[in-house]
Amino acid sequence: MKFGIMVNEGPYTHEASDTAYHFTKAALEAGHEIFRVFFYHDGVNNATRYTVPPQDDRNIQVRWSELAEKHNLDLVVCIAAAQRRGILDENEAKRQGKDGDNIAPGFRISGLGQLIEAGIQCDRLVVFGD
């Protein structure tokens, strides 16, 4: 089956990002397709590569990047939500006159159309949030 995943909560907030990760991993292991993971609202905070959690804690951000690399996942960050929260890729940093970007490997910044497309294309859209 084809799944779309939506993450509306930041890392280390409650548990939504963890649940979304474990669900995505289990779906992939069961042979399902993950069409896209869409990060919206505070969920965009999962996409900064500058997170440095304590060494004995899980690294939620790196975990997403690693899963994306292993399974060639499409991790999409909502651009409007990202701009509000200071999540920038190289192009956006240049466009906004900022001195650097912080987007993590495997993530890309795009628009809400990507969420709508996931809703249309996928058999199931599963939402995780606060």
Partner 1 sequence: MAMLHTVNKSPFERNTLDSCMRHALPGSAILLIEDGVVAATKGTAVEGKVKEKMGDVSFFVLGPDLAARGLGEDKLIDGISVVDYNGFVELTTKYDNVQSWL
Question: Catalytic residue positions?
Answer: 78
DSSP-assigned letter for residue 44: G
Residue 25 Cβ vs partner 1, minimum distance, rounded to whole Å: 7
- For partner 1, the closer of residues 34 and 76 by Cβ is 34
Helix/strand number for the chain, H first, E second: 5, 5
- What are the E-state strand segments in the chain? 2-7, 33-39, 75-78, 107-110, 124-128
Nearer to partner 1, 17 or 48 (CB): 17
- Least Cβ distance, residue 102 to partner 1 (angstroms): 27
Closest-CA residue to 61 (of 26, 11, 127): 11
Nearer to partner 1, 35 or 104 (CB): 35
- Closest separation in Å from C-beta 89 to partner 1: 28
* Owner of token pair 């990047």: 65
| Binding interface with partner 1 (CB under 8 A) | 1, 3, 8, 14-16, 19, 22-23, 25-27, 29-30, 32, 123-130
Sort 57 into a burial class: Cβ within 10 Å, 0-12 / 13-18 / 19+.
Answer: exposed
